[in-house]
Structure 1
C-alpha cells in the first residue's frame, strides 16, 4: 500500500527497497502492530508517522537517515520514548526507533561501559551493577539513556559524580549526511562538547560510552513523608541544610498528593504532603549520620530511608510513572530564597490533579565543579532545579492543567535567570531554549549545528537552529 505524506507519496516499491536494506523491520500504518509501535510514554502525544523503522544496529540507522533525506521526510528519533515534548514521534514523517538496540559491554577494569542507545536506565543498571558500578541515571528506570544524557541527565549520583553527560566519554553518531563518526575529546571534539548538554540536535547517537563509578550494590536511600502543615518548615529547613551536605548525598523535595500506598497511613492518602527523597552514594553506615538531619525537619508520617539495593532506588518511583498518562513538564533553575520557596508552596496548594507535583532538586557538588566550558550544559552555579509537573490519567481538561504548569513556572522562574532544564521542557519553545544557554554557549552550539546538520534535519528536539535557518 502506498503511503501519503506531507511531502508526497511513498510507493510500495520504495518502501520495499528500504526494508530490503535493513536487518531490522519497517512498520507501516496498515500493519497490525502499528498502533502499539507508534505509542509513546507521554499519552499527550498521539501521532501517526508514515513509517517506523525499528533499527537492529547502526547500519539500519544509516539507511533510515538516508531514506528520510531522499524522501524529504520529517525525522523523529526514539530511544526510551520518554520525551515530554513528544519529540519521539511525529505525524507523516519517519520514526527512527532505536529501542531494539540494547547491547552493552562493561569493562570493569577501566570502569567503562559502551551501551547502545536503545537501552533504558533499568537495562544499563542491570549490566553495570553486576560489577558494582554505575553512572548517573534517571529517576525512573524506564527512561532511555540517550535523550536523558544528551540533555544533561539529573539523577541520584549528580552531587557525587555529576550529570550523566559529564560522564559521557565518547559517542557514536550518525550525522545528517549518513556518515558515522566517533565523538570524544580527540575526535570531533566540538561535536563531543555539544552532545553533552545540547540535546539531540546534531545526529542520531547510536552508542554511548560512559565513565563508571563504584556504587552499590547496597546504598542508603529512600524517602521521608511529612504532612502538609509541616511543608513550610520542611522546605525551608531542607534549604538551610543543603549547603552543608556531603557530596555523597543528593536530595530532592517532592510536593505532591499522597498516593494510596500501603506504607502510608490511610488518613494521609489523598492529602498534600512534602516528601524528602535522597540517596547517599557512599558507605551506607556513614550515610546514617548524613541523612539524620532530614529526619528532624518535622514529625514524619512515614520514614522509608534506609539500606536498599541501588537498583531499588533507581526504580522506586516507577509504579507512579507508568506509560500512557497525560504529562506536561516545565522547569526553572532558581535560588531557593524565602520568596522563591513561598511561591513554590503557594503553587503546591493549587495543583490541578492528584498526580501533579513540584520537585526541588538539590544541585551543587560535582555538578557545580565541572568547568563551565567543558560541556554545553549551563547553569552550573544554580542552587536548585524546580520541576513543575502536570499529570493526569486522561485528557479531560488537560489544557487547563498545562496552563497551571506554565503559570507556575513563570512565577517561580522570577527567582532565577529564566533558564530551564531542556529535558524538563514540555514545549518546543525556541525562546526558552535560547534563554537556557548563555550567549557564548549558544553561538558555539549553532556553529556545531552548522557543521553537522546545516539543513536542520534533526529538529524534533529543543532545537538549536543552524545559521541558514535563523
Structure 2
C-alpha cells in the first residue's frame, strides 16, 4: 500500500522544525483555508515553516516527489494561488520576526507577517512603509506583486521600498538579493511575484508617517459619473501628500456611519493625507468638494496611520466569497464614467465594490524597466470585486464582476495589477508585464528552470536559455 504525501513527509523531513498537517490531522480544515471562501482546495500536505531551513526542506520534498507547490503568506489572493489540490502548501505564517531600526529608517520583516503587524511595530517610531488597504493582507504577496495603497502617491509602491530580501530558490539554496547581490533576482522580485523563490525575509525602507488625516467622502450612487469625472480631473494634479482612491459600494451597516445611511449605495473617495494638519488637508480636498454637490458624508479626521490601514478589516473579514477582475487605466473618458455609474447602480450585494487606485506621484518617479512592475505610466489600477458572505450568491457576484470588467476593459491600458487578477491565463500575465516579460522569463529559466514556482501569476521559463 502506498503512503500519502503527509506520511512521506513525516518520514523524510527529519530536519524539519515546523508543523506538518495532512488530511487526517486535527486542524486540517483550518490549515487549508484561505481568505476567499470561494476557494475550497484540499492539499495533500500543509507545511508550516519556522525558518529558511524549513522552507528549503519543503521545497526539496515537493520537487523530489513531483508535487504541486503553493506558497502562502497571508492567503489573501483572490484566485487562491496560496493553496492547491493534492499538492504541498508551504505556509510561511510562523515567520513573524519584525525588527525596526528607527535610525536607519528600515524594518526587517519575516515572510509570514501581515501588514497590520508591521504597522503596529513601525508606528510608535513615527514611521511606515507603503502597503495596501487591509491590514490582514500578507506582506509577501502584496509586496512581490507591487503594493498599491494609501501611501502610493507620497512614498511609492511597496516594491519601490524593498531594499533587500532573503530567498530560498527552487534548488533549495538560500540567497540574498539586493542592488549589490543577485541583482537579477532583486529586480525580478519587485513586481514579479513569487515566481523566483520563497522570500523568507524583507528589508523595507521606512518613511516619516505617523498621524494621517484620513476617511471617506460619500455621495449618492446616482452621482457616480459626475463625481468620477471630477475626481479624474482633480487628483492627478493634487500634491503627493494627498492620496485618495475612488470607489463605488454601499455604506456599511455599522458605526461610525449614521444609521440613516446604512446599506445606501454610494460613490466616493477614501482619503489619506500624509500629515496631521487638518486645515492643510481640508484645503487640498476643497477643490473637489467645491466642484460637486454636498456629500452625504465627509469623514476625514486625524488618526494614526494603522487606523486607516485597518479600517476595512471588519468590513471584509476572512471567509467571504470573492470574485475579482482588474485593469490598469490611463484615462477615464466620460463614456467610461457613465458605464461605471451603470454598474454601481446594479451592485449585486452590499459588500460588492469597485476601487480605482491612483498610480502617480512617487510611483511615477521610476521608469517602467527600473523594476519588474511595468505600468509606471498608468494613472490608475481598477479592481472590480463581487463580495458576499453567502455562498448562494457566488454566481451572482461573479456575473456582475465579469460583466463590469468586460464593459470597461476596452478603456483599459491592456494589463492589470497582478495582485488583483484571477487565474486568467498566460496572455493576461504577459500583458501585465509588457516589455519586462522577456527579461523575467530569462531570469526564471536561470533560477527556476523546472517552473516549480508556477502556482502564481506565472512567468514561464524562457526556452533555450
TM bin (shorter chain): over 0.9
> In the TM superposition, what is the alpha-carbon distance from 1:262 to its structure 2 partner?
3.1
> Unmatched 5+ residue regions in structure 2?
none
Alpha-carbon RMSD: 1.8
Aligned-partner Cα distance in 2 for 1:432–1:350: 27
CA contact (8 A) 2:41 2:85 kept: yes
The offset of 1:191, in angstroms, is 1.1
Decide whether the 8 Å contact of 1:19 with 1:26 is kept in 2. no
Query: 2-side partners of 1:394 and 1:229: how far apart?
Result: 27
Rounded to whole Å, the distance in 1 between the matches of 2:227 and 2:257 is: 18
Partner of 1:416 in structure 2?
Answer: 412
Aligned mates of 1:354, 1:245 — CA distance in 2: 31
Question: Which stretch has the larger CA shift, 343-352 or 40-49?
Answer: 343-352
Give the count of matched residue pairs.
Answer: 462
Instruction: Verify: 1:447 aligned to 2:442, yes or no.
Output: yes
What are the Cα deviations for residues 296-317 of structure 1, in whole angstroms up to 9, with x where unaligned? 3321222211111111011011
Alignment check: 8 A CA contact 1:233 1:298 kept: no
Counterpart-to-counterpart distance in 2, 1:11 and 1:58: 20
Give the whole-Å Cα distance in 1 for the aligned partners of 2:124 and 2:263. Answer: 39
Moved more, 282-291 or 327-336: 282-291
Match of 1:107? 101
Output aligned runs, 1:340-419, within 5 Å: 340-419=336-415
Post-superposition shift, 1:427? 2.0
Q: Which residue of 1 aligns with 2:325?
A: 330
Gaps of 5+ in 1: 5-9
Tell me the residue number matched to 1:236. Answer: 229
- Alignment-derived partner of residue 150 in structure 2: 156
Instruction: Report what 2:217 is aligned to.
Output: 224
Supply the distance in 1 between the matched residues of 2:375 and 2:335 (Cα, whole angstroms): 20
Whole-Å separation in 2 of the counterparts to 1:320 and 1:426: 21
Distance 1:247 1:329 in 2: 28
Q: 2:259 aligns with which of 241, 251, 266?
A: 266
Q: Give 1:294 deviation, angstroms.
A: 4.2
Equivalent residue for 2:198?
A: 204
| CA deviation string 1:34-71 (max 9, x = no partner) | 11111111101111111111111111001111111111
Distance 1:272 1:17, change over 3 A: same
Provide, for residues 116-149 of structure 1, a one-character-per-residue CA deviation record: whole Å limited to 9, x for no partner: 1100000111111121111001100000000100
Which of 291-300 and 180-189 deviates more?
Answer: 291-300
Other structure's SS at 1:467 match: coil
Q: 1: distance between equivalents of 2:149 and 2:2?
A: 45
1:72 aligns to what?
A: 66
Q: Name the counterpart of 1:313.
A: 308
Tell me whether 1:277 sits opposite 2:270 in the alignment: yes
Q: Which residue of structure 2 aligns with residue 147 of structure 1?
A: 141
Aligned to 1:7: none
- Once the two structures are TM-superposed, the CA of residue 199 in structure 1 deviates from its matched residue by 0.8
